């Protein structure tokens, strides 16, 4: 049999076993996964951007491996819409809800309503302040610390910086705590300008802001932009202003498109600190599955990030997230929220 036909046959077999898992459940798994047919909702606040797309792919892969019927509700950066979607999920009698980002004040009461209805809830990157809701995060303090350590390694402890930040998003707020602490410990680092926006076209909007900010502050040599859409915006601005060679951008997150932007000639984006977003999506589904099965999840579920410098990526010839997972196996998986009955999805 040809390799192509063998691959096609294996995919059909894999799909068949997934469908079987949905219909019949997973042998030896705790209820309700032993019977199958578990319905779960993923309600996302942010729908635009590579991170969230990869996160949802990872969540779907893990859901399939667990025989879960996962429905994704795209919040479209709209707090009212995300609330309505949680209400819809409650009305559809799902057994679990993953709340992915969002504005806490718009969500707390509706999430409590879900909890009161016996629905298990986990939250990724939104602090719902609810003892019944485990919080999933990428260790944002470590992420920001590692990015800033790299900035110091490259630029020393004295430089003029630009900073991209929007308050109200849990991961950005945690990263901001580290930036505040870093400036206090490094008085020769000056934050000359701060800007930022999160919307459906974050990179383009940040590029407009960055252009004005960098033009007004030509002595800035470092930009701390701890979200990949922010880094893309600043990079675009630097290219349009013709200052890529004198600027260094330190960011968070990674996607195949980001790797291309980092490794291209003269790119000012010199380092990013990231988890594999597909792994984070899978961990979110596993945490929810444990909770639905009545098993221990813990208050916080943390996925540790890795520093990826432009030099390392270029030297290793890494061009995609898949290649990154092959070269750095720890990047392609996480031990968070695992159990013997859970088959981890591959990414």
Q: What is the CA radius of gyration of the chain?
A: 21
Pairing verdict, β 159-164 and 306-309: unpaired
Using CA atoms, how far apart are residues 212 and 193, in angstroms rounded to an integer?
A: 10
Is position 269 an interface residue for ligand SR1 (rule: CB under 6 A)? no
Tell which one of 171, 196, 268, 281 touches ligand SR1 (CB under 6 A): 171
Is position 125 an interface residue for ligand SR1 (rule: CB under 6 A)? yes
> Virtual CA dihedral for 55, 61, 67, 72, nearest 10 degrees?
40
Which helix (H) or strand (E) is 274 found in, with range?
strand 269-274
Task: Give the interface segment with ligand SR1, choosing from 10-18, 165-173, 204-212, 283-291 (CB under 6 A).
Answer: 165-173
Instruction: Give 271 or 293: the residue with its C-beta nearer to ligand SR1.
Output: 271
Question: In the complex, what is the shortest distance from the CB of residue 160 to ligand SR1, in angstroms, rounded to a whole number?
Answer: 24
Is position 59 an interface residue for ligand SR1 (rule: CB under 6 A)? no
Instruction: Give 133 or 293: the residue with its C-beta nearer to ligand SR1.
Output: 133
Instruction: Give 38 or 59: the residue with its C-beta nearer to ligand SR1.
Output: 59
Is position 169 an interface residue for ligand SR1 (rule: CB under 6 A)? yes
Is position 122 an interface residue for ligand SR1 (rule: CB under 6 A)? no
Tell which one of 29, 33, 40, 51 touches ligand SR1 (CB under 6 A): 51
Assign 3-state DSSP to the chain and report helix, strand, coil percentages, each to 5: 50, 20, 35
Residue nearest to ligand SR1 (CB): 227
List b or e across 199-208, with b for residues whose CB sees 16 or more CB atoms inside 10 angstroms. eeebbebbbe
Q: Are 26 and 341 in contact (CB under 8 A)?
A: yes
Tell which one of 50, 100, 253, 261 touches ligand SR1 (CB under 6 A): 253
End-to-end CA distance of the chain: 27
Give residues in contact with ligand SR1 (CB under 6 A): 51, 125, 138, 169, 171-172, 198, 227, 252-253
């Amino acid at each position: 049999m040809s390799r192509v036909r063998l691959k096609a046959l294996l995919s059909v077999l894999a799909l068949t076993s997934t469908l079987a898992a949905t219909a019949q459940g997973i042998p030896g798994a705790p209820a309700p996964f032993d019977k199958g047919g578990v319905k779960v909702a993923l309600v996302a606040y942010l729908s635009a951007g590579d991170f969230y797309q990869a996160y949802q792919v990872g969540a779907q892969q893990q859901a399939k491996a667990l025989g879960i019927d996962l429905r994704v509700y795209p919040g479209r950066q709209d707090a009212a819409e995300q609330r309505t979607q949680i209400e819809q999920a409650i009305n559809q009698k799902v057994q679990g809800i993953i709340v992915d980002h969002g504005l806490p004040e718009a969500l707390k009461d509706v999430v409590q309503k879900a909890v009161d209805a016996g629905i298990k809830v986990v939250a990724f990157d939104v602090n719902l302040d609810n003892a019944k809701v485990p919080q999933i995060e990428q260790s944002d303090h470590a992420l920001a610390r590692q990015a800033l350590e790299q900035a110091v390694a490259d630029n020393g402890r004295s430089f003029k910086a630009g900073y991209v930040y929007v308050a109200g998003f849990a991961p950005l707020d945690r990263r901001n705590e580290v930036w505040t602490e870093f400036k206090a410990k490094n008085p020769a680092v000056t934050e000359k300008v701060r800007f930022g926006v999160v919307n459906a076209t974050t990179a383009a909007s940040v590029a407009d802001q960055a252009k004005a900010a960098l033009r007004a502050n030509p002595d800035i040599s470092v930009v701390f932009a701890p979200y990949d859409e922010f880094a893309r915006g600043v990079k675009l601005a630097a290219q349009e202003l013709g200052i890529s060679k004198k600027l260094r951008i330190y960011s968070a997150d990674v996607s195949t498109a980001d790797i291309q932007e980092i490794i291209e000639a003269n790119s000012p984006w010199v380092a990013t600190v990231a988890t594999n977003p597909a792994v984070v999506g899978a961990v979110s589904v596993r945490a929810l599955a444990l909770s639905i099965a009545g098993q221990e999840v813990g208050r916080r579920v943390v996925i540790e990030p890795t520093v990826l410098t432009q030099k390392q990526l270029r030297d290793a010839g890494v061009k995609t997230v898949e290649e990154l997972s092959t070269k750095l196996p720890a990047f392609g998986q996480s031990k968070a929220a695992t159990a013997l009955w859970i088959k981890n999805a591959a990414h």
